[in-house]
Structures are given as C-alpha cells and as structure tokens.
Amino acid sequence: MKAPRVTLDQWRTLQAVVDHGGFAQAAEALHRSQSSVSYTVARMQDQLGVPLLRIDGRKAVLTEAGGVLLRRSRQLVKQASQLEDLAHHMEQGWEAEVRLVVDAAYPSARLVRALTAFMPQSRGCRVRLREEVLSGVEEVLLEGVADLAITGFSIPGYLGAELSDVEFVAVAHPEHSLHRLNRELSFQDLESHMQVVIRDSGRQQPRDVGWLGAE
C-alpha cells in the first residue's frame, strides 16, 4: 500500500481555513503564522495535484474537488482523534474489548438496551457478543474465550449477580389437541407431544434439564 503524501496536520489546516473563513483567521485559531498556513495549503495542493481553494475577493472558497475531499477528511481526522483517545484510555487501564457470552434464553431487548446505554460511556471499548445455550455459556467462560457471562446457572469460581427472572411459556397452535383439554395442563400432558427445543450447545457436559429431558 502506498504511503499517504498528505498528513493529518495538513487536513486540519485546510479545515481551519474553511471553518474560520480565511488564512489569517485560521492562523489565529491554530496559533501559527499566516505564511505557514498558506504554505501548508499550497504544498497540499501540489501533492494532490488538485486545486482545493480559490480566492473570491478576500475570502478563500472551496473548489468542487476541495469540497469533496474536505468532507472525507473530516471523517479521517475524527477517526485519528478517536484512535488517540482509545490509546489514552488503554493507558489508563480501560479495556479495548470486552468479550460477552450470553445464554440464548436471555431477552434480546434487555441486552440491546444495556449495550445502547453502554455506548456513550464505552470510550471506544468494543463489545464482542457470543450466544450459547445452557452449559455452552460456562464452557466458553472457563476456556477463557469470554470475559463476562450471562447465564441461568451458577459457575464455580465466579461471583455472580442476579439480573432478572425469565419466564418460559409453552406455546402450541390454536387447533392443537392440548387446547381442547379445557383444563390446566400438567407436565405429563406436554411430555407426550412433539416439542421443538433448542439443545444445549456445550460439548463437555451438556445438560438435559427441563424440556430437554423429554423424548
């Protein structure tokens, strides 16, 4: 990949000229001499081979090509600043990435709300999300593939905090024979019918609990 000829400082200088309305104003905002700002932009245009500004009276105005490049450069400068901020937060001990494994039974809406609330406070920290079922959550955590886990079971060696209760509801088609019993259903009623169940994703010691124990 060819190394870029234009530096971030040059893009910042061009942005200042446009945002502050001229070379003199940009020089004042950047605490530099006007000749330094003018040279930086002129050098930039030579490197790119494209005119970025034209002088209209006493004001520097963007050319069409300059407008397109300026819009792209704002995102570039913003990303560079975010990268520096991330490095600063990492230096302070803030994690660059948190790996979270969640049991598939945990309500997605609650998880999305939590991640949305975390975003403004994340300081660039990325959350890598993985979904498992039953003992699969424990296996991923114990293998060191995840840092945090949301599961319905206590995991030996880890401190947990209760988040919420999750209610499981058995459902069937309105015309299913179970609905025609016209009484409260028992476990035996359900056990004798076909069930669609998400199996345990663990490989070491998968659990057969609840509906998984039915044939």
pLDDT on residue 90: 62
Comparing CA positions, the residue from 136, 157, 156, 134 lying closest to residue 146 is 136
The CA distance from 119 to 35, in Å, is: 42
Instruction: Return phi, psi of residue 56, to 5°.
Output: -115, 100
* 208 within 8 A of 215, measured Cβ to Cβ: no
- Distance between CA atoms of 116 and 85, rounded to whole angstroms? 20
How confident is the prediction for the chain on average, in pLDDT? 82
Given this model, what pLDDT does residue 207 score?
64
Tell me the average pLDDT across 40-63: 82
CA distance 209 to 206: 9
Q: Residue 113: its pLDDT value, please? A: 94
Task: Give the per-residue pLDDT at 112.
Answer: 93
pLDDT at 213 over 60: no
Q: Note the pLDDT of residue 96.
A: 75
Q: Rounded to whole angstroms, how far apart are CA atoms 27 and 156?
A: 62
Check residue 111 and give its pLDDT.
92
For the four alpha carbons of 34, 57, 77 and 64, in that order, the dihedral sign comes to negative
pLDDT for position 101: 92
Q: Quick check: 2 pLDDT over 70?
A: no
Residue 55 β-bridge partners: 60
CATH 3.90.10.10 fits domain 8-91: no
User: What is residue 212's predicted lDDT score, i.e. its pLDDT?
Assistant: 54
- Say yes or no to pLDDT of 102 above 90: yes
Can you list the alpha helix ranges (DSSP code H) found in 92-168?
108-118, 135-142
* Section 154-169 average pLDDT: 84
Query: Could you tell me if 6 and 49 are in contact, meaning their C-beta atoms sit under 8 angstroms apart?
Result: no
| pLDDT average, residue stretch 49-78 | 82
Quote the pLDDT of residue 150.
92
DSSP letter at 138 equals H
Give the Cα separation of 36 and 43 in Å (integer).
Answer: 10
Q: What is the pLDDT of residue 70?
A: 84
Residue 166: pLDDT band with limits 50, 70, 90: confident
For residue 34, what pLDDT is reported?
Answer: 87
Sequence spans of domains, the chain: 8-91, 97-150, 177-213
pLDDT tens digit sequence for 109-132: 999 999 999 888 877 788 899 999
User: Percentage of the chain with pLDDT > 70?
Assistant: 88
